[in-house]
Structure 1
Amino acid sequence: GEWECPDLYELPVDGNRGKTRWILKIGMNPGHLAGGSGEQYFVGQFDGRAFKNENPREKTLWLDYGRDCYCALTFNNAPDRLKPRLIGWMDNWQYAGNTPTTPWRGQMTVPRTLSLHTTPDGLRLAQEPVEALQALRTEPFSYAGTNLPELNRKLAQWRPAQTFEAVVTLQPGSARTLTWKLFDGPGEYTLLGFDAAAHTLFVDRTKSAHAGFNSHFPSRTAAPLAAGTLQLHILVDRSSIEVFAQQGTVTLTNLVYANPQSTGISLEATGGQPGALDVKMWKLRSAWEHKP
């Protein structure tokens, strides 16, 4: 596919402002790992004239493993130049022309704060929702324990909505899969889970409502994730799921078109019992101060 929507910015390595690298972000259409349009990035040096990639040319680093993050660009007038904010177009050129929404078509990701971290695989970009979004939190929910039926019973009593935020730490234990069932309602649901055997974090929208509007839309997207403790930061809106895993070094952004009454949330395990669970959730108020 073709490359477009480039962006170039400098980031401190592990927060050390005396040691920086440059990130070159490129949109590609088609050719993304999940199909259709998507984004990759390069880590390297920039001398004011030329950018030099520090990784082998065959190494591909994905900005987002989901289907719906494209043309993501940073703001060049942020108060702190070395803490850029990024926002992306939440859609995919395979089906952007006929998404089942009205009176609008298309939306943006939440703004994200960027950082660069040393990992066993090398330097990797991390993304987290901007802290200002925490002002939208309301009606907090929390659970710590190992009893899935108890967690799910308390979630049902909380009366979940279609707009919420979750910060979750999970120990997979002996479970083969740990899966959140989201937008659960009559004849529909969307899955967000971890497959311990495949070492992947996935979002499956094949059973989501209105998934049949385009043959490319029903899909399961997956990102590689090492075994061990799962750390997930999840933002769910009425038609989207944004997942930031392992301190934001892995992200999945996907559109989901659920019916308004489908608000069920539960956590399921297969193949064994999970270990410790720490779940914090908040319903989210509208960001619009005055509704039209």
Structure 2
Amino acid sequence: MVKTSLRLFIRCIATLVLSVLPVAAQNPDYDQPYRPQVHFSPEEHWTNDPNGLVFYQGEYHLFFQYNPFGDQWGHMSWGHAVSTDLLHWHELPVAIPEHDNTMIFTGSVVVDRQNTSGLCTHGDCLVAIYTGHTQTSEGIRQTQNLAVSLDKGRNWAQYPGNPVLDLHLADFRDPSVSWDPIAHHWVMAVSLPKEHKIRFYSSADLKQWTQLSDFGPTGDVNGDWECPDLIHIPSSNSAKSIWALKVGLNPGAPQGGSGEQYFLGDFDGKSFHQSRLRGSQGWTNYGKDDYCAISFNGLPKDQKPVLLGWMSNWQYAAKIPTTPWRGQMSLPRHISYVSDAAGLALKQEPIVAPLRGKNYEISALSTNTSTLYGSGHTLQPPFEIRLNFGHPVEPIFGLKIFSDQQHWIEVAFDTNKKEFYIDRTHSGAAISPDFPTRTKAPLVTTRPYDLTLIVDRSSVEAFAQDGTIAMTDLVFPVSNNLQIQIFPDDAKPIQSEGQLWELKSIW
């Protein structure tokens, strides 16, 4: 990799000014102005929640809520893509289509290694557990159902005994299913949205389910609870393992619209118990645009859990200015946890290193110099920046990313307010009154002031304070020719060290 020391300044602002190499040839179907280049999006049509994330026989499977007929929500089915590295995805035909007046809502896929279901014919197989959303003469009915694949997820057959779990409710959805190796049975976490509860069930065969316990109401209950995920986070070094229960909230999230909270604690095989330590409840993402994230089943034992979400918000998802597709996924990220003097916190590390190309070292110190903005040197997304601000004396510091003099986003730390924030109020297209936003997360003064930033054609994903803050926001800039500035622009100098990588397109 080529390494170049960058020391460029703009009126007390350290400015990173780069010129990119010519873009490599790629599939023209994936080169629209706002088409993400390092995030999955379907070739066409509407998508929302990721579903059934599973690793099986060398492939990562991404199923997702999908409308095969248009770019608005409806006719919900399971789209399907596969990858060998969690980054380069190959889209396959629709896996589980809408049928018999039943839409296929969110759920899980498990590897039935011991054929507990009796549905596998030769060794193991893949079993999907999903919510069926049916319009009946009595109104909406949501039930839990099964489908089975005997050919690595390419073709699926409905279980003739569906539904396998029916409470005769209009709101009962999004099963998260995994194998309990200690109790030797399956565990399901499923949402009762209006009651703000996650209900746990067990099953020996994926067909007959026994109620175990309820968790909630607790935490934030300002909207429907949905998209639960129960995740075991193995120990690292001398630390103890911990459990995370992630719960979607829509509407009513702190940033407006949809968002996701997590609880850290213990699952004893029957009930989830939240820890009493500080930090045991937080937000999986403090931005507006990461919802219904779920983890992968079937990962190798030595791999950390991997989380992936839908990059949008129900406030304006139908208005996103993209065509012929609408909707995209976040980057996958490894999850672990931090336990320090400030308490507990979920930690997230984006999986992006395999896409790194040309590399620059960043060493910047603000000083009084003439402006360099507008000199014509630009950087085009996608790219990744990693910075460490050390122990700054300035109260507000971070990055500004300009697409022209009137349009920019700001990613920064505000130590006076004890906030980390992304301000996209001047980012470009304002597709909805709910879109121009300054999203914010609480700072912990004893954690480092570090920043990882992944910028794509229509998104910014930030990870700060050792990955304990994740913040994802869509942006629709007026130009892909960007200039980056480290600030503040006056008063005391600020130091930073880090690296910048151009990222290769996944297409």
TM (norm. structure 1) is: 0.88
Q: Does the CA contact (< 8 Å) of 2:342 and 2:444 recur in 1?
A: no
What is the DSSP-based 3-state SS (H/G/I as helix, E as strand, rest coil) of the residue aligned with 1:135?
helix
Counterpart-to-counterpart distance in 2, 1:56 and 1:11:
17
CA separation of 1:183/1:22 partners in 2, compared to 1, >3 Å: closer, same or farther? same
1:191-237 CA-to-partner distances (Å, cap 9, x unmatched) read 111112112111001001102x2000000011111347411111110
Asked if residue 251 in structure 1 is aligned to residue 473 in structure 2, the reply is no
> 1:92 offset after TM fit, Å?
0.6
Which residue of 2 is the match for residue 23 of structure 1?
244
CA separation of 1:261/1:5 partners in 2, compared to 1, >3 Å: closer, same or farther? closer
Asked if residue 36 in structure 1 is aligned to residue 254 in structure 2, the reply is no
Asked if residue 123 in structure 1 is aligned to residue 344 in structure 2, the reply is yes
Match of 2:316 among 95, 100, 116: 95
The one-letter code matched in structure 1 to 2:460 is I
Q: Does the CA contact (< 8 Å) of 2:266 and 2:275 recur in 1?
A: yes
For structure 1, which segment, 34-43 or 51-60, has the greater mean C-alpha deviation from structure 2 after superposition?
51-60
Counterpart-to-counterpart distance in 2, 1:263 and 1:250:
25
Counterpart-to-counterpart distance in 2, 1:59 and 1:23:
9
Higher helix share: 1
Asked if residue 12 in structure 1 is aligned to residue 234 in structure 2, the reply is yes
Which residue of 1 is the match for residue 384 of structure 2?
165
What is the DSSP-based 3-state SS (H/G/I as helix, E as strand, rest coil) of the residue aligned with 2:473?
strand
The one-letter code matched in structure 1 to 2:226 is E
Counterpart-to-counterpart distance in 2, 1:250 and 1:58:
12
Which residue of 2 is the match for residue 217 of structure 1?
435
What is the DSSP-based 3-state SS (H/G/I as helix, E as strand, rest coil) of the residue aligned with 2:231?
strand
1:83-141 CA-to-partner distances (Å, cap 9, x unmatched) read 111100011111111111111111110000000110223221100012xx212112211
Match of 2:444 among 223, 226, 240: 226
What is the DSSP-based 3-state SS (H/G/I as helix, E as strand, rest coil) of the residue aligned with 1:64?
coil
Q: Does the CA contact (< 8 Å) of 1:142 and 1:280 recur in 2?
A: yes
Counterpart-to-counterpart distance in 2, 1:160 and 1:12:
39
What is the DSSP-based 3-state SS (H/G/I as helix, E as strand, rest coil) of the residue aligned with 1:97?
helix
Match of 2:327 among 106, 109, 112: 106
Asked if residue 200 in structure 1 is aligned to residue 419 in structure 2, the reply is yes
Match of 1:45 among 245, 258, 266: 266
Counterpart-to-counterpart distance in 1, 2:287 and 2:306:
19
- What count of residue pairs does the alignment treat as equivalent? 283
TM (norm. structure 2) is: 0.52
> 1:168 offset after TM fit, Å?
0.3
1:12-57 CA-to-partner distances (Å, cap 9, x unmatched) read 34x1477211110000101211111000011111122211112389
Superposition pairs for residues 109-188 of structure 1, below 5 Å? 109-130=330-351, 133-147=352-366, 159-171=378-390, 173-188=392-407
Counterpart-to-counterpart distance in 2, 1:12 and 1:59:
16
Instruction: Provide the aligned C-alpha RMSD in A.
Output: 2.6
The one-letter code matched in structure 2 to 1:140 is N
CA separation of 1:158/1:236 partners in 2, compared to 1, >3 Å: closer, same or farther? same
Asked if residue 260 in structure 1 is aligned to residue 482 in structure 2, the reply is no
Q: Does the CA contact (< 8 Å) of 1:184 and 1:265 recur in 2?
A: no
The one-letter code matched in structure 2 to 1:272 is A
Which residue of 1 is the match for residue 409 of structure 2?
190
* Larger gyration radius, structure 1 or structure 2: 2
> 1:162 offset after TM fit, Å?
2.0
Q: Does the CA contact (< 8 Å) of 1:67 and 1:91 recur in 2?
A: yes
Counterpart-to-counterpart distance in 1, 2:359 and 2:445:
29
Unpaired segments of 5 or more residues in structure 2? 1-222
Asked if residue 238 in structure 1 is aligned to residue 457 in structure 2, the reply is yes
Counterpart-to-counterpart distance in 1, 2:298 and 2:254:
32
Moved over 6 A (4+): 56-59
CA separation of 1:125/1:71 partners in 2, compared to 1, >3 Å: closer, same or farther? same
Unpaired segments of 5 or more residues in structure 1? none
Counterpart-to-counterpart distance in 2, 1:206 and 1:159:
22
What is the DSSP-based 3-state SS (H/G/I as helix, E as strand, rest coil) of the residue aligned with 2:353?
helix
1:163-208 CA-to-partner distances (Å, cap 9, x unmatched) read 1101101135332211311143152111111112112111001001
What is the DSSP-based 3-state SS (H/G/I as helix, E as strand, rest coil) of the residue aligned with 1:115?
strand
Which residue of 1 is the match for residue 283 of structure 2?
62
Q: Does the CA contact (< 8 Å) of 2:362 and 2:500 recur in 1?
A: no
Q: Does the CA contact (< 8 Å) of 1:22 and 1:45 recur in 2?
A: yes
